[in-house]
Structure 1
Amino acid sequence: MGSIQERFRSQGLTRPSQGRILGGVCAGLGQRFGLAPWPARLLFLIVLLVAPGSQLIVYPVLWILMPPAQQGPAGPARTDFGPPA
């Protein structure tokens, strides 16, 4: 399965760590095709409504096959979640 994930990664199909709700599949698809996450989710839903039940297969398969986006060097952990001073 590593070669499939590498092929997806080389095509730009990765699951980002930011902007994801469940697994990041729609956010990754949107990122690949130049869409924001919400329009990509809406388009994904509309396409899957054409073939009812397919979302039960397509989303989990893409979740497994799409590798997570590679992270750069980690910065300091954010501990203040309040409004900026």
Structure 2
Amino acid sequence: MGRRRRRQGKRPYPRREDVANAILSVLARKPHIHPSELVDEVKAELESMGFYAGLVNAKRIWRTYEEWVKAGRMPDYLGVMGEEGSEDLEQAL
């Protein structure tokens, strides 16, 4: 008979706060990152934090960024929340 593989523990799915913390971590490490590179960097950061980032999409990352900037929890480091910046945000999605 075949051996059964022992299943490693499932990695948790990141909550909204985890995504925001990953965004802040990426922005602290790379303050001059281009908005188009943010999604891949945040996913890599979530993976390094031990989360499963396979189902985290660009829309969720940008929505979290936008909510935290509007709530005043984080400054608009990327400059995408202004009049001109909203077009950049939509293009990044």
TM-score bracket for this pair, using the shorter chain length: 0.3 to 0.5
What's the TM-score, normalizing by structure 2?
A: 0.30
What's the TM-score, normalizing by structure 1?
A: 0.33
